[in-house]
Structure 1
Amino acid sequence: MRRFPALAPAAAARVFDRAHSTLVWLAVLAFVLPEPAARGLVILAMVAVALAAAAVAFFAPAAPDPKPDADPEPPDCEPMESDHGL
Structure 2
Amino acid sequence: MYAWIGSKGAKALAMVLENNSTITEIDLSYNNIGFAGAKALTTAMEKNSTIRYIDLCNNNGLEWQPNLATDLKKRRIKVNFIL
TM-score, normalisation: structure 2: 0.33
Which structure has greater strand proportion?
2
* Structure that is richer in helix per residue: 1
Q: Which of 1 and 2 has higher RCO (CA within 8 Å, sep 6+)?
A: 1
Instruction: State the TM-score, normalizing by the size of structure 1.
Output: 0.32
Greater C-alpha radius of gyration: 1
